[in-house]
Every structure is written in structure tokens, then in C-alpha cells.
Amino acid sequence: MVAGLDPDLDRLITRLPKVELHLHIEGTLEPEMAFALAAKHGVTLAYPSAAALRAAYDFHDLQSFLDLYYAGCAVLRDEDDFRALAAAYFARAHADGVVHAELFFDPQSHTSRGVAMGTVIGGLRRAIADAHAQYGMTAELILCFLRHLSEEDAFATLEAALPYRDQFVGVGLDSGERGNPPSKFARVFAAARGHGLRIVAHAGEEGPAAYITEALDLLGAERIDHGVRCDEDDALVARLVAAKIPLTVCPLSNLKLCVVKDLAEHNFAALLRRGVAVMINSDDPAYFGGYVADNYRATAAALGLTADELILTAEHAARAAFVKDDIKAGWLARIAAAR
Ligand code: ADE
Ligand code: ZN
């Protein structure tokens, strides 16, 4: 139980059917699994034990996290590694009441090490099929381009993924935001849209509000990942409200990466109360100290969210998913019944 959280709200959070739309599957690699896979493949990690690795999760900004996150990817080598990674996430997500998840994956962090695109997507799709059979959960994949790499590399990645076009629903943009504006990838995203792919982008996490505007105008983003710096531009907030652009906010990530100093200072509640379609996600839960229900609980306690606000948060996520309207209607009915 999170300190300061009303027990009724705690129970509501447990009951709420949740949709998770901002989750990097590589960010679910728990230290114990990293060590097991390292042993399997004869890879040496920079830390002597899982406990020592976990103790190193003391980040001061996005880049200090990304350095460890990309190093961890080195243990993911064959199709079964990707299957096992996603299977472990689905087990935890199911326990948290997640009914649907849209998983980001970073193929460039694997193909650059000689792992084939088909190995990554094949393993993740096997876990999705198993989670559906075992838990009735649904999931989709979103391929993210690493924004610290070149436009040319992103184009090559899109090309390599096209043979698997029916196995992922969209493309996104992640990695180090500062100095890597959405405009750098406008032509790649235009090509992705041409293939009917859905569009999301990380923007306004560490980067300025102008990057959110670029993601909307130059990439055609339908959802903004993070987006918390939108409140530096009132006209942008008004646009997000009017156009109902969802923000996939990740409160514990923002805390761990020092985007906010204290969860009590997070603008999640303020944005929600201004009418922005914000929702709660876990981002890289193995690194940030909590999966999605932990994020709901910590945010509700720190910001004094009400039952109605928690329900609205869950509704925002359900409405923003890349699924058909009749599926969303089913989730919305279940959310209403959780009250
Ligand atoms: N890759 C994994 N997690 C990320 C985050 N929070 N921001 C940008 N890129 C990421
Ligand atoms: Zn993210």
C-alpha cells in the first residue's frame, strides 16, 4: 500500500481495467533476467550481480538512464530472449489489470549488434500470442526510431521492417531528445504514413514544447509520449485540448529521470484538470521502480487524484489505443463498472 493513498482509491486502482500505451519492452528487462541471459550467452555485464546492477539505477537525466538501458540490450540475442522478456512483462501487466498494451521496441539497438529484425519481431509476436491465449490480453507493437542516430539509419530500419509490416501497427521516436528534434525525421515519418502506419513520438520529456508542435505538424503524431513540457506554451495546451491529442505520461519515469524533483510537483493533475487527455504509463518499469499500477498509486497519492479523475485517466488510455471503436466501447463499459 502506498503511503497516503485512500484505501478506496487503492481498491479502485486494482479493479480498473488498464490500457498501457507507453512501455519500452527493453525497459522491462529486470536485472535478474539480464544476468540469466548473460550467463546463457556468455556475455559479461559491467556489474558483479543483479543487486549491484539495480543499485546503479540512480539517474540524473535521460542520457544517464539510456547508457545503462542500451548496455542491458546486449543480452537479448535470440528469438526466445525477446519472447521471454515480453512474457515476463505480460505476466506483471496482467497482475496489474492491464487488458491491452502497445509495446515500443527499439530495433536499431539490436540490429546494430547483428540481431535480425525478424528475430526481434518474431519473439515479441510469440509472447503476444501466448498472452492472448493465457490471459485474454491484447497487444500491438510500435517500432521506435532512435533519434540520436541518423535519418539514413532510420530509413534503413523502416526498410528492414517492411517485410513484417502486418506485425506492427505504428512507428515512434525515442532516445535522447535534446538536440534531436522531430524535424530530423520528417521524411522517414512521411514514408511510414505512406505505409499506413500509425504515428507517435516522444516529445516534451526533456525537450522544449516546440518539439511537441513539431511532432504534431511535421511527423503527424497522433499521440505524444510524455509531452509534460507542453505547459510552457498555453496555445499548445489549448490545441492539445481542442484536438484531443493524448499524452502518454509516465510519472515515475519523470521522477527517476529528474524531469520533476518531487511527484507532488508533477503537472499530471493540472493538465488533467485543464482538459488534456493525459494517461498514466510505466515507460521502463524495470528501471524506474514500478509497473503501471504502481504509477497509478504513486500519482494518485502524490497529487490527490479523485476516483472520478482516476476513471477519466483510464478512459483517456482506452480511447487513445490503436484498436477498433467497438473494442474501446467494451473497455469503457468495464471501466465504468469498476467505479
Ligand atoms: N527509451 C526508453 N525510454 C525512453 C524515454 N523515457 N525517453 C526516450 N527514450 C527512451
Ligand atoms: Zn518512453
Cell of 141: 507493437
C-alpha 103 chain-centroid distance: 7
Q: What is the DSSP letter of 194?
A: H
Q: Distance between CA atoms of 59 and 81, rounded to whole angstroms?
A: 26
What distance, in Å, lies between the first and last C-alpha atoms of the chain? 19
Ligand index nearest the alpha carbon of residue 211: 1
CA distances from 336 to 46, 226, 269, 311, 326 (A): 48, 26, 20, 8, 15
- Site to probe by mutation for ligand 1, drawn from 23, 28, 29, 62 as the one with most ligand atoms within 8 Å of Cβ, is 62
Q: Distance between CA atoms of 328 and 299, rounded to whole angstroms?
A: 24
**Quick check: 103 and 25 in contact, CB under 8 A?**
yes
Ligand 2 centroid–CA 174 distance in Å is 7
pLDDT for residue 152: 98
Query: From the first residue on, what is the mean pLDDT of each consecutive set of 10 residues in the chain (339 residues)?
Result: 93 98 99 98 97 98 98 98 99 98 99 98 99 98 99 98 98 98 99 99 98 99 98 98 99 98 98 99 98 98 98 99 98 97
pLDDT for residue 1: 75
Question: What percentage of the chain's residues is helix, strand, coil (to nearest 5)?
Answer: 60, 15, 30
The answer to whether residue 232 is catalytic is no
Q: Distance between CA atoms of 164 and 280, rounded to whole angstroms?
A: 29
pLDDT for residue 201: 99
Q: Distance between CA atoms of 270 and 35, rounded to whole angstroms?
A: 41
- Site to probe by mutation for ligand 1, drawn from 25, 29, 63, 66 as the one with most ligand atoms within 8 Å of Cβ, is 66
- CATH architecture of the domain covering 7-324: Alpha-Beta Barrel (3.20)
Ligand 1 centroid–CA 289 distance in Å is 15
Residue 7's CB: how many other CB atoms inside 10 A?
8
Q: Distance between CA atoms of 10 and 2, rounded to whole angstroms?
A: 8
Ligand 2 centroid–CA 224 distance in Å is 10
pLDDT for residue 176: 98
Q: What is the DSSP letter of 283?
A: B
At 178, give phi and psi (nearest 5°).
-60, 130
Q: What is the DSSP letter of 217?
A: I
**Residues at CB less than 6 angstroms from ligand 1:** 24, 27, 62, 69, 174-175, 202, 205, 253, 283-284
Ligand 2 centroid–CA 220 distance in Å is 18
Return all residues near 88 (Cβ < 8 A) that are at least 6 apart. Answer: 28, 30, 33
Which is the catalytic residue, given 205, 206, 214, 309? 205
Residue 72's CB: how many other CB atoms inside 10 A?
25
pLDDT for residue 309: 98
Q: Is 6 helix (H, G, I), strand (E, B) or coil?
A: coil
Cell of 124: 515479441
Ligand 1 centroid–CA 328 distance in Å is 27
Q: Around ion ligand 2, which residues have CB less than 5 A away?
A: 283
pLDDT for residue 24: 99
Closest ligand 1 atom number to CA of residue 206: 7
Sequence-ordered alpha helix ranges (H) in 50-116: 50-55, 62-72, 79-95, 108-111
C-alpha 143 chain-centroid distance: 11
Residue with cell 505538424: 217
pLDDT over 70, % of the chain: 100
Q: Distance between CA atoms of 140 and 299, rounded to whole angstroms?
A: 26
- Site to probe by mutation for ligand 1, drawn from 144, 175, 224 as the one with most ligand atoms within 8 Å of Cβ, is 175
pLDDT for residue 53: 98
Break the chain into its structural domains and give their ranges. 7-324
Q: Is 301 helix (H, G, I), strand (E, B) or coil?
A: helix
